[in-house]
């Protein structure tokens, strides 16, 4: 019963989907085994990084042969919890909400958006990308009824905190926050923020300071 504690190394976790993508291509090409060095080359990454990352998933390989492709795929999906597809709701069907709802790539990430919510009555009752849109008032009830654990938040900044609290009170445990609002929620709630300002800051700073370096020209 004493489950071994798994260490979550964030940089490693972020790289796993890249491996998964390449490995699935290999698998569909009928390739059965691959070494970490080969995989590293395909992903344009340092071989040592890849070796450590793969080891992190506890998958075992064979010296001289490498790893079984399908076994790594299974190990990564297991590690990320993508082996069982999880259902999510999305709240806020503006342009961003629409874009994410229509995005077909989530299939590969163990995620399925099964309903959308909005307060705009002209959207309620309709559907976007095959996903039905419900009134925001039904959010609490449907989360608890369907035992939804993950919420994608694409509402206006002003109402983000309020919606998040409603969702959490109904049983949501993880929130993917695409709004600029920093959410204040209990510690056991997992929030992943897509921080547009932070990303742009990195791009701007690199761009700005690289141009200074190249003044010699």
Q: Which positions ≥6 away from 170 have C-beta within 8 Å?
A: 139, 140, 141, 143, 144, 148
Tell me the C-alpha distance between 73 and 66, whole Å. 14
Mark residues 75-114: x for contact with DNA by CB under 7 A, - for none. Answer: ----------------------------------------
Q: Which does 46 bind (CB under 5 to 8 A by kind): DNA, a second copy, none?
A: DNA
Is 115 strand, coil or helix?
strand
Mark residues 108-147: x for contact with a second copy by CB under 8 A, - for none. Answer: xxxx------------------------------------
Within 27-66, the residues that bind DNA by CB under 7 A are 35-37, 46, 48-49, 51-52, 54-55, 59-66
> Closest distance between a second copy and the C-beta of residue 63, in Å?
28
Distances, alpha carbon 206 to alpha carbons 21, 117, 200, in Å: 28, 38, 10
Burial class for 171, CB neighbours closer than 10 Å (0-12, 13-18, 19+): middle
Q: Looking at 57-191, list the stretches that DSSP marks H as alpha helix, in order from N- to C-terminal side.
A: 69-80, 95-102, 139-146, 157-170
Contact yes or no for 150/84 (Cβ under 8 A): no
Contacts to a second copy by CB under 8 A: 3, 6, 8, 10, 13-18, 21, 44, 79-82, 86, 94-96, 98-99, 102-103, 105-106, 108-111, 149-150, 173-174, 176, 180, 182, 188, 190, 192, 194-212, 214-215
Q: Which residues bind DNA (CB under 7 A)?
A: 9-12, 35-37, 46, 48-49, 51-52, 54-55, 59-67
């Amino acid at each position: 019963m004493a489950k071994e504690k798994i260490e979550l190394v964030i940089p490693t976790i972020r790289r796993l989907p890249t491996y998964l993508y390449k490995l699935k291509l290999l698998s569909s090409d009928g390739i059965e085994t691959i070494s970490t060095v080969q995989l590293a080359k395909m992903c344009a990454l340092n071989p040592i990084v890849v070796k450590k990352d793969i080891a992190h998933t506890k998958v075992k390989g064979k010296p001289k042969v490498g790893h079984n492709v399908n076994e790594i795929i299974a190990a990564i999906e297991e590690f990320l919890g993508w082996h069982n597809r999880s259902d999510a709701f999305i709240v806020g069907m503006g342009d961003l909400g629409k874009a994410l709802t229509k995005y077909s790539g989530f299939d590969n990430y163990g995620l399925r958006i099964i309903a959308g919510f909005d307060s705009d009555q002209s959207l309620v009752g309709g559907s976007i990308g095959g996903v039905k849109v419900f009134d925001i008032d039904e959010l609490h009830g449907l989360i608890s009824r369907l035992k939804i654990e993950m919420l994608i938040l694409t509402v206006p900044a002003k109402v983000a905190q309020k919606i998040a609290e409603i969702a959490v009170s109904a049983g949501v445990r993880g929130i993917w926050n695409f709004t600029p609002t920093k959410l204040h929620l209990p510690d056991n709630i997992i929030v992943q923020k897509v921080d547009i300002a932070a990303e742009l800051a990195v791009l701007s700073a690199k761009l700005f300071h690289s141009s200074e370096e190249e003044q010699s020209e």
